[in-house]
Amino acid sequence: MRPQSFGYRSSASRIGPLLLTTLVGWASLCHWSAPASARDVATRPNFVIVLADDLGYGDVHFQGNPDRTTPNLDALAAEGLRLTDFHVSGPVCSPTRAGLLTGRYQQRCGVDGVINAGFDKNRHHGLQPDEVTFAECLHDVGYTTGLCGKWHLGYEPKYNPTHQGFDLFRGYVSGNIDYQSHFDRVGVKDWWRQAQLKDEPGYSTHLITSHAVDFIDKNHDGPFCLYIAHEAPHTPFQGPNDPAFRVEGKVVQERVSPAHKRRAYREMIEEMDRGVGDVLAALKRHQIDDRTLVLFFSDNGAARDGSNGELRGFKGSLWEGGIRVPAVAWSPATIKAGGVCEETVFSLDIMPTMLALAGTTAPKNRPLDGVNVSGVLMRDEPAPKRTLFWKYGRKRAVRRGPWKLVENAPGLEGTGLFRLDTDLSEMTNLAAKHPEVVSSLTRALADWEKSVASSATPQPGRSSK
Would you tell me how many other CB atoms lie within 10 Å of the CB of residue 440?
Answer: 16
Closest CA to 206 of 236, 238, 183, 235: 238
User: CB under 8 Å, gap of 24 or more: what pairs does 193-201 form?
Assistant: 193/169, 194/4, 194/6, 194/160, 194/162, 194/168, 194/169, 195/4, 195/157, 195/160, 195/162, 195/163, 195/169
- How far apart are alpha carbons 412 and 222 in whole angstroms? 50
60: amino acid identity, one letter:
V
Q: Taking a C-beta distance cutoff of 8 angstroms, is the pair 354, 134 a contact?
A: yes
**Among candidate residues 395, 347, 367, 363, the one with its CA nearest the CA of residue 451:** 367
SS3 282: helix
In whole angstroms, give the CA distance from residue 401 to residue 117.
38
One-letter amino acid of 336: K
Distance CA 225, CA 316 (A): 29
Active-site hit among 87, 125, 152, 211? 152
Q: What is the DSSP string of 160-173?
A: -GGGTT-SEEEEE-
CA distance 135 to 147: 9
Cα separation, 454 vs 446, whole angstroms:
12
Q: Are 151 and 169 in contact (CB under 8 A)?
A: yes
Among residues 30, 87, 93, 109, the one annotated as catalytic is: 93
The DSSP code sequence of 306-329 is: S--TT----TTSSSHHHHB--EEE
Q: How many CA atoms lie within 13 A of 408 on its CB side?
A: 10
Q: What is the DSSP letter of 426?
A: -
Handedness of CA 203, 206, 212, 217 (dihedral sign): negative
> Could you give phi then psi for residue 155, rounded to 5 degrees?
-95, -30
- Residue 187 has φ and ψ, to the nearest 5°, of 80, 30
Q: Assess whether 341 carries a catalytic annotation.
A: no
**Cα–Cα distance, 73 to 60 (Å, whole number):** 8
Evaluate whether 404 touches 420 at the Cβ level (below 8 Å). yes
Q: Which residues are catalytic?
A: 93, 152
